[in-house]
Amino acid sequence: MKIHILGACGTFMGGVAILARRAGHEVSGADQHTYPPMSTLLEKEGIVLYEGYSEEPMREPPDLVIVGNALSRGNPAVEYMLNQRLNYTSGPRWLGENYLRNRKVIAVAGTHGKTTTASMLAWILEYAGLNPGFLIGGVPLNFNVSAREGSGYFVVEADEYDTAFFDKRSKFVHYRPQVAILNNLEYDHADIFPDLAAIETQFHHLMRAIPGNGTIISNAADTNLEDVINRGCWSELQRFSLDGEYDWQVELLRPDGSELRFLYQQQDMGSVAWDEYGRHNATNACAAVAAAVAADVPAATAIAALPSFKGVKRRMELISQAAGIHVYDDFAHHPTAIRLTLEGLRRKVGNARILVALEPRSNTMRAGVHADELGPALIAADYVWLKTGDGIDWDPQVALAPLKGRCKIVTRVDDMLQQLRNNLTPGDHVVFMSNGGFEAAPRRLSESLEDA
């Protein structure tokens, strides 16, 4: 089959392109900007890429057009596709109907932690010798790719964002998993959902698609998830927690979360020391272990896999250590994730200085939906630089008032980098937080430190 993919260089759609090519289809793709590393990865797979959204690649009609959710009416490629009555579908629907239907699907859902938890789970299955396939919204460093075909089991990051301009259901309703992790549920994606209740309804739809002999692994500490469960649960339910006696429990053997013990129904399943840290990663690991056990991996094997988990690119990724200064790149998009990440780092580094450069780039953050939560989320930092700009109509100074002057508002990345360099001392930990490119600020700072 000849498939053309619109929006092919996004992480999810790029993964779909790779899986379609590996399934034997002839694949081409288009995106507004085609650039490495995704463009390089796709071209290595034999996928022809077109810059921009013209009708040219579709003049010889493909058998199917797969449309990414970044495209909308008015886009010239979309208008041509509709006017010519080409056969089209969404990435999640194609994945669910054509790729996942004969696989043992494990879906990882939640407002935050999806990428890390899905990456842990994929690694556990790999460690257990199961050769899993996966499609993850990031790059697990154990694999260095965001998607692969594998065999048997398939781990999918189950995003609640909408499917396409013609399908406003959440992506994850298309996956029909046998095992589903529900990591957490908070209000996000204000450009799509009017309120939390609308997101809860989508999670309820996901629950309806899980078979009766399937398993749901749910965070017992999240009251919003409990509300979803109370609307209906038809599958085996297992809850996990850091602070309570539930089906699965994880205990911190060290305050920074670098040593953990896992319990199932109050029985000790084993302990582990690993390179990750923070309460959030402890619960991510507990969910991943529970899901692996539900997929018939022995608990001891699942736990033993964790010390060799290498983390995820751009999830508190340590990208350089020069002149005694640690520089991290983190894909931050929600105040809760920001708070948990910085609290975890604080427990790890003790009294060392933590300097944060933050770009509120997601639609929800830019709209100011979480402005009141932003300052408290940054309390663990010693100093914060916040890059503002067009589209932010809330007052950053008011939002960061809880920091009591330990912050600076900048409009240019160059100014921010210069101020950072002027304030750095050996032993500092610098965290760049953005779900965008941040004008390559982490790399630029790292290079300037290495050249110093």
Residues of the chain with CATH 3.40.1190.10: 100-308
Segments in 128-248 forming alpha helices (H):
196-208, 223-230
Q: Is the pTM of this model over 0.85?
A: yes
Decide which of 25 and 391 is more confident: 25
pLDDT at 153 exceeding the cut of 90: yes
Q: In the prediction, which pLDDT does 412 show?
A: 93
For residue 341, the Cα-to-chain-centroid distance in whole angstroms is 14
C-alpha to C-alpha distance for 209 and 232, rounded to whole angstroms? 11
Q: Which residue has the tokens 């957490």?
A: 184
Ramachandran sector of residue 175 (left: φ over 0; alpha: ψ -120 to 50; beta: rest): alpha
In whole angstroms, how far apart are CA 248 and each of 182, 208, 212?
A: 14, 23, 20
Q: In the prediction, which pLDDT does 452 show?
A: 64
Residue 201: pLDDT band (50, 70, 90) is very high
What is the pLDDT averaged over residues 185-202? 89
Q: CB 254: neighbour CB atoms within 10 A?
A: 12
Could you read off the pLDDT of 203-234 as tens digits, one per residue? 999 999 999 999 999 999 999 999 999 999 99
* Mean pLDDT (the chain, rounded): 92
According to DSSP, the β-strands at 325-330 and 429-433 are parallel
What is the pLDDT averaged over residues 382-393? 86
Residue 272: pLDDT band (50, 70, 90) is very high
Amino acid (1-letter code) at residue 237: L
For the domain made up of 317-451, give the CATH fold. Protein-Tyrosine Phosphatase; Chain A (3.90.190)
Residues of the chain with CATH 3.40.50.720: 2-92
Segments in 295-358 forming alpha helices (H):
299-305, 335-349
Q: In the prediction, which pLDDT does 370 show?
A: 76
- 100-308 is classed CATH 3.40.1190.10: yes
Structure tokens at 413: 């990345």
Partners of 218 in the beta sheet? 182, 239
Residues of the chain with CATH 3.90.190.20: 317-451
Q: In the prediction, which pLDDT does 362 show?
A: 76
Q: In the prediction, which pLDDT does 444 show?
A: 93
What is the pLDDT averaged over residues 400-411? 92
What is the pLDDT averaged over residues 257-284? 94
CA-atom Rg of the chain in angstroms: 22
Residue 315: pLDDT band (50, 70, 90) is confident
Decide which of 67 and 437 is more confident: 67
In whole angstroms, how far apart are CA 312 and each of 118, 348, 357, 434, 442?
A: 10, 18, 20, 15, 16
Could you read off the pLDDT of 409-427 as tens digits, one per residue? 999 999 999 999 999 999 9
Q: In the prediction, which pLDDT does 39 show?
A: 83
Structure tokens at 107: 């879906």
C-alpha to C-alpha distance for 21 and 15, rounded to whole angstroms? 10
Nearest to 354 by CA among 382, 335, 312: 382
Decide which of 222 and 395 is more confident: 222
Task: For 285, list phi and psi in degrees, rounded to 5.
Answer: -65, -40
CATH of region 2-92: 3.40.50.720
Could you read off the pLDDT of 13-57 as tens digits, one per residue? 999 999 999 999 999 999 998 777 788 889 889 999 999 999 999
Could you read off the pLDDT of 93-136 as tens digits, one per residue? 999 998 898 899 999 999 989 999 999 999 999 999 999 999 99
Nearest to 402 by CA among 386, 426, 387: 386
